[in-house]
Amino acid sequence: MAEKVGTRLGPSTLLQPALPRGSGPAAMKREFRDRAELENYLRASFAYLASDPDGLSPIRGGRDSALKALAAVEPGRYERTRNHLDGAVSRLSMYIRHGVLTLPEAMRAALTKVRRPREAYKFVQELAWRDYWQRLYEHLGAGVWEDREESKTGIRAEELNADLPEEVLEGRSGLACMDAFVGELRATGYLHNHARMWFAAWVVHWLRVRWQAGARFYLEHLLDGDPASNNLSWQWVASTFSHKPYYFNRENLERYTSGRFCRNCARRNDCPFEGSYETLAERLFGPETVR
Amino acid sequence: MSTVVWMHEDAVNGTLLGRGPAVFVFDEDYLRREGYTLKRVGFLYECLLELPVEIRKGEAVEQILAFAAEHDADEVVMQASPNPWIRGVGAALERVLKVRRMVPEPFVELGGQPDLKRFSRYWARVESRLPIG
């Protein structure tokens, strides 16, 4: 049976003494001159990583980096601006994913930064999403890979493509926004939540690819990739874990990106996201769909 | 006899480190199956480098058992996890050693499981128990 344990964690420097040296063929190195040496070592240690076309993320792992990110959190600005790609998002997810930071710890830190607890409401609610997904994971286990409910799009899973097209995986679709999202994801292992949603909606509803293929792509690259949060969010977009599909239009994407992608997009006059929500719903799902 | 700590990818922190020597195992079969890119493995590795934990590669159960034997341990402490692979490793260890699964501090204390059908139902139950009123 599981037992409870306190998790007030100190700075990592408190834990520095008595680092094990490692011994035997299975022990891995702990000392590196720089990140380039670490990258080379990992490529040499794991055969399947030798030909990984992408390098390390510029986002560093470790509790020191996590505490810096936590210190920078601004709950009030987060609430007002988080949906914009330039908004004051926290970038704590990858540390929380691996337990480097805990949810209670992040909540306590946020509450020390506001005059009234209500100012941290949205930030705390977003932490609650992580708690929610993990509770569901307890129940579902590997079931997070299966449709939770029937799709509300009227399109059957058998009608969808099993795989993501190569040009999408390589950021060569010709859509400036989507190609930029793939580029950022592959270079950094991070993507703003709104970009994740737009990309997921494009993959599932426009390209008609099964959500599992997109979920797998995210899990390969996202530093915060977690099967529960990730797959159930894809299912929320696909409408197998929500009462209607999530989709967007160009106006929405332009608003929350300040139009940066559309300005020079090769397909700016032939944008698949152009149109009202009603027009797009009819085009994507047909006239009888749940909106 | 003594205790060793198995640190896994859901709990890369110092919480359990006072209980005995700790090991983290990069299991290549698992990493490959999950499709973890270099970015993900590197990020985890950097997290581990700040902690006094022995980093190993190999088959997870085999390596944890070997680590326990090297430390004359008859008990493994780990953080509980919903990840099926982590649970499977814990179950396999249990065939040989005593396994203690520790539950981290909860985000919110609830008596019993909330309705998880939709986030809105969960939130309706949870909101008033959080210090944000």
Summarised one tens digit per residue, pLDDT across range B55-112 is: 999 999 999 999 999 999 999 999 999 999 999 999 999 999 999 999 999 999 988 8
With cut-offs at 50, 70 and 90, classify the pLDDT of residue A229. Answer: very high
Please report the pLDDT score of residue A22 as a whole number.
53
For residues A163 and A230, membership in a common domain is answered with yes
With cut-offs at 50, 70 and 90, classify the pLDDT of residue A16. Answer: very low
Please report the pLDDT score of residue A290 as a whole number.
54
Per residue in A129-142, pLDDT (tens digit) is: 999 999 999 999 99
Residues of B in contact with A246 (CB under 8 A): none
User: CA separation (Å) from A188 to A135, A138, A142, A191, B73?
Assistant: 28, 29, 27, 8, 40
Let me know if residue A138 belongs to a domain.
Answer: yes
With cut-offs at 50, 70 and 90, classify the pLDDT of residue A14. Answer: very low
Average pLDDT of the segment spanning A42-67: 97
pLDDT above 60: residue A17: no
> Where are any strands of DSSP class E within chain A?
2-4
Average pLDDT of the segment spanning B26-39: 98
Closest Cβ–Cβ partner in B40, B57, B116 for A189? B40
For residues A116 and A197, membership in a common domain is answered with no
Let me know if residue A150 belongs to a domain.
Answer: no
Of all residues in chain A, the percent with pLDDT exceeding 70 is: 90
Let me know if residue A80 belongs to a domain.
Answer: yes
Between A10-14, A126-130, A270-274, B103-107, the lowest mean confidence (pLDDT) is in: A10-14
Q: Which amino acid is at A137?
A: Y
For residues A218 and A238, membership in a common domain is answered with yes
Residue B23 and residue A183: Cα distance in Å, rounded?
Answer: 35
Residues of A in contact with B36 (CB under 8 A): 220
Let me know if residue A171 belongs to a domain.
Answer: yes
Please report the pLDDT score of residue A31 as a whole number.
96
pLDDT above 70: residue A81: yes
Residues of A in contact with B52 (CB under 8 A): 15-20
Cα A112–chain centre separation:
27
Please report the pLDDT score of residue A86 as a whole number.
87
Average pLDDT of the segment spanning A231-258: 97
Closest Cβ–Cβ partner in A42, A118, A131 for B107? A131
For residues A99 and A6, membership in a common domain is answered with no
With cut-offs at 50, 70 and 90, classify the pLDDT of residue A288. Answer: low
Residues of B in contact with A191 (CB under 8 A): none
For residues A163 and A238, membership in a common domain is answered with yes
For residues A183 and A275, membership in a common domain is answered with yes
Average pLDDT of the segment spanning B5-19: 97
pLDDT above 50: residue A15: no
For residues A166 and A97, membership in a common domain is answered with no
Closest Cβ–Cβ partner in A18, A27, A39 for B38? A39
pLDDT above 50: residue A13: no
User: Are B14 and A12 inside 8 Å of each other by CB?
Assistant: yes
Last residue of a domain, one of A145, A171, A205: A145
Let me know if residue A207 belongs to a domain.
Answer: yes
Let me know if residue A291 belongs to a domain.
Answer: no
Residues of B in contact with A121 (CB under 8 A): 132
Between A63-67, A81-85, A117-121, B22-26, the lowest mean confidence (pLDDT) is in: A81-85
For residues A36 and A140, membership in a common domain is answered with no
With cut-offs at 50, 70 and 90, classify the pLDDT of residue B113. Answer: confident
Residues of B in contact with A16 (CB under 8 A): 50, 52
For residues A173 and A263, membership in a common domain is answered with yes
B contact test, residue of A1, A19, A28 with most B CBs within 10 A: A28
User: CA separation (Å) from B24 to A4, A30, A186?
Assistant: 21, 12, 26
Domains in chain A, number = 3
> Which structural domain, as residue segments, surrounds residue A35?
1-56
Let me know if residue A152 belongs to a domain.
Answer: no
For the beta sheet containing B54-57, the strands, ordered from the edge strand earlier in sequence to the opposite edge, are A2-4, B98-103, B73-79, B2-6, B22-26, B54-57
DSSP characters over B66-115: HHHHHTTEEEEEEE----HHHHHHHHHHHTTSEEEEEEPPPSS--SSPPP
Our CA-based measurement puts residue B71 at a distance from the nearest CA of chain A, in whole angstroms, of 13
Q: What is the CATH number of the domain that holds A91?
A: 1.25.40.80
User: Are A128 and B108 inside 8 Å of each other by CB?
Assistant: yes
Last residue of a domain, one of A122, A145, A168: A145
Element (H or E) spanning B42, and its range?
helix B38-49
Please report the pLDDT score of residue A7 as a whole number.
43
Per residue in B121-132, pLDDT (tens digit) is: 999 999 999 999
With cut-offs at 50, 70 and 90, classify the pLDDT of residue B1. Answer: confident
User: Are B101 and A30 inside 8 Å of each other by CB?
Assistant: no
Cβ(A167)–Cβ(A173) below 8 Å:
yes
For residues A260 and A163, membership in a common domain is answered with yes
Average pLDDT of the segment spanning A59-73: 97
DSSP characters over A191-204: --HHHHHHHHHIII
Query: In degrees rounded to 5, what are phi and psi of residue A44?
Result: -75, -30
User: Are A61 and B39 inside 8 Å of each other by CB?
Assistant: no
Biggest CA pair distance of chain B: 52
Q: Which of the pair, B119 or B111, is modelled with greater confidence? A: B119
User: Are B38 and A42 inside 8 Å of each other by CB?
Assistant: yes
Residue B14 and residue B117: Cα distance in Å, rounded?
Answer: 34
Per residue in A149-196, pLDDT (tens digit) is: 999 999 999 999 999 999 999 999 999 999 999 999 999 999 999 999
For residues A171 and A138, membership in a common domain is answered with no
A55 in reach of chain B (CB within 8 A): yes
Last residue of a domain, one of A113, A145, A177: A145
A6 in reach of chain B (CB within 8 A): yes
Between A78-87, A281-290, B30-39, the lowest mean confidence (pLDDT) is in: A281-290
Residue A51 and residue B114: Cα distance in Å, rounded?
Answer: 45
Let me know if residue A264 belongs to a domain.
Answer: yes
For residues A129 and A208, membership in a common domain is answered with no
Cβ(A130)–Cβ(A175) below 8 Å:
no
